[in-house]
Amino acid sequence: MPADVLDDLARAASGNFPVLAGVLGLMVGSFLNVVIHRVPREFDREYAEGCRAFLDEKEPPPGRRWGWIGTLFAPPSHCPKCQARLRARENIPVVSWLVLRGRCAHCSAPVSARYPVVEILTALLSAWTASALGWGAPGVAALVLVWFLIALSFIDADTTLLPNQLTHPLLWIGLLLNLRATFVPLEEAVLGAAAGYVALWSVYRLHKVVTGRDGMGYGDFNLLAAIGAWLGWKMLLPVVLLSSLAGALAGIALWALRRRGIDVPIPFGPYLAVAGLLALLHGPILLRILGEAASSAAGAR
């Protein structure tokens, strides 16, 4: 393809990047619904089979041919209640749910509003990310981070689990991207991954020693390590502070509304994800605010 044609395509993509990202986000959001629904169930299936094999002292049955990744593509999209396969016109993001009035076309079972919510949220956050970072390697790569964070947030909210099948690839993708300093130099990315894991692990161990109970799960350590791998160690403090503040406020609100007991654990992944998104899009502003706050505190002494 001639170079001038490629330049024209690049300029067109650059000017319309937020719109293109938003449309792509709608389609990706439909796929994320599959991820959110199927990955935890595959995890439960593998765990149950492993437990049965251990108790029976037998070798676990052979896994599916492509493991958990295969479950994302097979079987095709279908109604969880009647198992009817969805036709293409029944699988259009947002539109199909509205046309069918939130019900299955085959058995009229209600379809959760979660599906269009995830699709719209993915579209909006994709457009916002594209608008903030612009056309280029960081902007395109950031969309991948946003999509992972959305899937992990909803999975954690549903199950209080952050599957290694998602957090580990997210960490490695961040490190590989920063081989060329897409977001930060590789040294900062490696330190971010290590410090992110150790920081929450240390909090976990301290809480365990003091209270005798688990305060968070290992998935939280992995998620913060992944965020550190993408954004570097300098962004860890803003992410931890923002997520802790948001989690504390949410916990107090839920307790005040009597919707959750004071001892019931709150999924921390969604708050890490929101803080990570803000650090991705507005990291320099957050660092400046923290710096000014530290200077003011030092001057007040």
Give pLDDT, residue 61: 55
Residues 124 and 62 in one domain: yes
Among 89, 120, 135, the domain-final residue is 135
Bigger pLDDT: 212 vs 128: 128
Pick the closest to residue 129 from 148, 115, 116, 113 (CA basis): 148
Residues 76 and 169 in one domain: no
Residues 171 and 240 in one domain: yes
Bigger pLDDT: 90 vs 20: 20
**Cis upstream peptide for 75 (omega within 30°):** yes
Is the Cβ–Cβ distance between 165 and 43 less than 8 Å?
yes
Give pLDDT, residue 177: 97
Give pLDDT, residue 261: 55
Across the chain, mean pLDDT equals: 84
- What is the rounded distance in angstroms from the CA atom of residue 235 to the CA atom of residue 254? 28
Q: What is the pTM of this model?
A: 0.87
- What is the rounded distance in angstroms from the CA atom of residue 29 to the CA atom of residue 125? 10
Residues 62 and 171 in one domain: no
- For the chain, percent of residues with pLDDT exceeding 70: 79
What is the three-class DSSP state of 80? Answer: coil
**For residue 244, which phi and psi values (nearest 5 degrees)?**
-65, -45
Of 1-10, 90-99, 106-115, 148-157, give the lowest mean pLDDT range.
Answer: 1-10
Calculate mean pLDDT across residues 134-161: 95
Domain boundaries, position 194: 136-301
Give pLDDT, residue 85: 80
Residues 88 and 179 in one domain: no
pLDDT in tens, 225-241: 999 999 999 999 999 99
Residues 168 and 292 in one domain: yes
Calculate mean pLDDT across residues 106-111: 82
Positive or negative: CA dihedral 285, 224, 113, 119:
positive
pLDDT in tens, 56-97: 656 555 555 556 566 666 777 777 777 778 777 878 888 888
